[in-house]
Chains A and B, each alone.
Chain A
């Protein structure tokens, strides 16, 4: 690049002389408008012709995209972060264009209402004393009459609109073939995406700014010293998505930032489910040999939440808090947020309520709480979200809570869902203040979930903290497929909590277990005394959620004992626990979603829980493979020389039906990691 101030160049660029002919045409057209204006100004325009064509466009969009999502072809790396918004825009526009013979006036002007001439609207809004030059999109909503005026104007102006090139149009029409799908996806990206980012050092630096908390793996503990292990459940999945993103981009994730439990819990498992809502969840404990260490065992604790059937679903009051700061404009951020919100909207019942707050510079209500029945209005509001400005997260959160409280549903689900690339600007106050706010609101019954997007400045650490304090989950969405998984496949579990403050405490029997370590959950550790303290917050379980925790146990007398391994390694290997000997006792505490007192569920773990590795269920084995992968990425030395191949093999044999392809994708990641790590 040149050394000159770039802005200097802007001034030097002078236009050519305007064409005489063009100018003449423009002035004539303008005079015609001027003359027309007087005649038509008094006429009022009905709004009835509103949304028909756009709805058609959406339908087309759905038809085009839905099968793709199911086949997971959207999960490809570079273009998977597609922008559906312009596709919708294009398709509706396309419909309008093809409908021209019958719908010229209303159709065309309706199309343009997606991009109304802001100046006109702004001026009209000014007349209505709405005052500020707020987001133009906002103004469109605030000034329906102005919209009508503008639409009318554009209906008049229709002859000047550019013609539709048929060749291009026909390219887009059949959306089934892969090449066309790809084309639409690429097309849907903003131009910024076409700028290669990798080679540039500045941008690399930017991408390295994700803030992920580092932590040490859980140490091995001696049962004789610390017989009790206590932790809060974690149903987040963000870590897996972030690992996936890193591997796909050809780099190993930051070892100390990998949260193994989030990787394990990313996958759907069919653990034994409770039979009724009275039993909010059921724990299944399996003890089995450790694939990576012949001398230890794994204790696999699988918890499955009760799945609320559709008719029983409580009414839902959601407020989306959408980060619309300038940094969100990338194709894998705001456009993906919008597409995600649309997906979620499809899961809501007609009486559920949706509100939208955007924040960029200052927080603004984009959509007052609206019944999902009025889907058109909600979709419209989603469409209007545009990126620009800085991030004032704290003000946004307060505004979102205010909305959620204004439409609070007693006995229902009240939740703020924050969609952000994660760099909250909380002004002079610190993260602590934000935590406190979220915590206080949680107590008032409004929970918070985080949907993380994009990378570069994703503040994973803060998002985790906020979600944990808000009784919510933090999911990281890097592809539309991921949005589909998080918001559609798992909508129920993400939205409908069945138990909160779920804590797990395992007491090991020193007669059988000499040492243990908990795999993952490092960031969720609780003090032993916290278990019975109902004031200590912990994770929540949603409808149908599954949560898995795995301990690696070293039986008494095993050569794997850390302290005694060398000196007493010749002692008889323990392949069977001493008859009838209990490994330990698993206790789970939880509260009802709206309760304040906890209940206790407990279960002993003994010989009945022990199986051979191959006899363990596919899901158990697969989750163990994921645990191994996570530890491998963390470069955990407890994994010994267990290779990526071995992990891949373990997972392949436990792949099962894999209806959504999640496990196949996992295998791909293992291969990628192998290539990068060896």
Chain B
């Protein structure tokens, strides 16, 4: 285990912004504490994004590493969590993109063997299937859904994480909902 060498000076466990500012200034202990306090959140988002534990862990590790690398350039504007949400979303997308390059080829070979028929593997769990559909949404809609419905952020908070207006978030959610229904119906016709 990583040993936590110190606690935040003010003793507050959840002062992410304060810890982040210390870490930004080069405080190693503060950074360790910040990681410890946020790892579960990162992993949850990553797991939801990817739909499996292995990828979730890989993504979470990637996010942590990016944090270590870039905490110094965090400007301290807005909440640390907002920044973290954004970083996690982006890391997850990058990870899935590089993974799917390999995965999709294998899948394609399989599909070719099935006489060029368009075949979609249906996950068993409806919530799984739903996440599968969410992942097919346009990126920003997907982000919005993950933040608002997955993480329970308000539209305003999600807007801050995505650096857009609140009404844009509402619009993304609205569009996502519309599209999701279509996607789920298309997938559902196999059930």
Contacts and interface: CB of A to CB of B under 8 A. Distances in A.
Give the interface centre of B39, B75, B97, B140 by most chain A CB atoms within 10 Å: B140
Contact of B112 (A165, A182, A389): A182
Contact of A387 (B91, B138, B182): B138
Nearest to B140: A388
Interface string A592-618: 000000000000000000000000000
A86 to B, nearest CB: 7
Contacts of A33: 64-69
Given A13-B131, A122-B163, A168 B102 contact: yes
A120 B87 contact: yes
Interface string A204-247: 00100000000000000000000000000000000000000000
Interface residues of B, number: 99
A90 B65 CA distance: 25
A12 interface: yes
Contacts of A41: 72
Interface in A100-119: 112, 115-119
Interface string A643-669: 000000000000000000000000000
Interface stretch (A189-197, A309-317, A367-375): A189-197
A389 B137 CA distance: 11
Give the interface centre of A14, A192, A194 by most chain B CB atoms within 10 Å: A194
A6 interface: yes
Nearest to A388: B138
Interface string A75-90: 0001100000010011
Contact of B104 (A7, A191, A388): A191
B12 interface: no
A249 to B, nearest CB: 13
Given A126-B75, A127-B75, A183 B112 contact: yes
B81 interface: no
Nearest to B189: A199
B105 A187 contact: yes
A563 interface: no
Contacts of A10: 48, 127, 130-131, 134, 145, 149-150
Nearest to B84: A119
B70 to A, nearest CB: 5
Interface string B62-89: 1011111111111101000001001111
Interface in A440-483: none
B31 A15 contact: no
B179 A326 contact: yes
Nearest to B83: A123
A456 B111 CA distance: 25
Contacts of A182: 112, 116
A390 B163 CA distance: 17
Interface string B159-191: 000111000100100010101111111111111
B136 to A, nearest CB: 5
B6 interface: no
Interface string A20-35: 0011111111111111
A164 interface: yes
Given A112-B94, A133-B162, 13 more contacts: A11-B152, A26-B65, A27-B35, A30-B68, A35-B28, A119-B83, A153-B70, A168-B106, A186-B109, A191-B100, A194-B120, A196-B118, A329-B138
Interface of B: 1-2, 23, 26, 28, 31-32, 35-36, 39-40, 43-44, 47-48, 53, 56-58, 60-62, 64-75, 77, 83, 86-91, 93-94, 97-102, 104-109, 111-112, 116, 118-120, 126-128, 130-131, 133-136, 138-141, 145, 149-150, 152, 162-164, 168, 171, 175, 177, 179-191
26 contacts: A9-B130, A10-B149, A26-B35, A30-B68, A33-B64, A33-B65, A33-B69, A34-B28, A78-B118, A93-B101, A116-B94, A118-B94, A119-B88, A126-B75, A153-B66, A157-B62, A168-B106, A185-B108, A191-B136, A195-B118, A196-B189, A200-B182, A200-B189, A202-B181, A388-B138, A390-B175
5 tightest A-B contacts by CB?
Answer: A133-B163, A33-B68, A187-B108, A119-B87, A30-B64
